Amino acid sequence: MENNTAKHILDVAQDIVRNRGYSAFSYADISKQVGIRKASIHYHFPSKDELVRALVKRYREGMARTCAQIAKSAASPDQQMLQFANLYRDGLEHNQICLCAMLAADFAVLPPAVQEEIQRFFRDIEVWLTTLLQQGCDDKLWDCQPSVEQEAKGLMAMLQGAQLLARSSEDGAAAFEQLVYPILEAKFSNA
């Protein structure tokens, strides 16, 4: 139980940013939810830029671990694809989209170090998806046209976009499911 204050701050900050965006989150918000004063946050993270940079880095590394676990599981490619999509759906149940999807929208106002973390996140995801698609093609389950790379990019775009669209629905998670699942079913089932 090494649940220190720094982790608590990042947890709260992540909730706020995923829900409201980079420009609309403040030390005051964190202060209230963590239960310490604004000034105390600066002890753990000297500036807002540093805080967000650490936040995105942690998020990216966590996502990489989660994806690695999915990949090394015994699940079939189509099950892996569904597990991956579910990562996005789950956040929507609390009105949260992917941290990096939100920050991609805010890209123009981000400090350069954070911009680089975002780019790396999407690169990692694209590589992971490409690998999964390649496996499905090798197993003769799927047929990726015109290429696995192209299919991976298209899938990423659809998932990111579906989250955005789901935000403006009353039940975001349901809207996401209705949009994404039939498409995944049609393209990446193993029936």
Residues in touch with its own copies (CB under 8 A)? 19-24, 95, 97, 101-102, 104-109, 115, 118-119, 122, 145-146, 150, 153-154, 156-162, 164-165, 167-168, 178-180, 182-183, 186
77/28 Cα distance (integer angstroms): 44
Distances (CA, A) of 179 to 82, 159, 160, 183, 188: 14, 9, 12, 7, 15
Q: Return the one option of its own copies, DNA, none that residue 174 interacts with (CB less than 5 to 8 A, by type).
A: none
Please check whether residue 116 is in contact with residue 104, taking contact to mean a CB–CB distance below 8 angstroms.
no
Q: Which is nearer to DNA, 24 or 68 (CB)?
A: 24
Among 3, 4, 145, 168, binds DNA (CB under 7 A): 4
Q: Give yes or no for residue 20 binding DNA (CB under 7 A).
A: no
126/149 Cα distance (integer angstroms): 8
Q: Which is nearer to DNA, 54 or 166 (CB)?
A: 54
115/60 Cα distance (integer angstroms): 13
Q: Give yes or no for residue 42 binding DNA (CB under 7 A).
A: yes
Which tokens go with 185? 């079913």
Contact stretch for DNA (CB under 7 A) within 23-31, 65-73, 79-87, 89-97: 23-31
Q: Which is nearer to its own copies, 9 or 159 (CB)?
A: 159
Return the closest-CA partner of residue 166 out of 176, 156, 157, 181: 176
Contact stretch for DNA (CB under 7 A) within 10-18, 30-38, 56-64, 159-167: 30-38
178/191 Cα distance (integer angstroms): 20
Nearest distance in Å: CB 61, DNA: 21
Q: Give yes or no for residue 32 binding DNA (CB under 7 A).
A: no
> Residue type at 11?
D
Q: Which is nearer to DNA, 23 or 189 (CB)?
A: 23
> Residue type at 39?
A
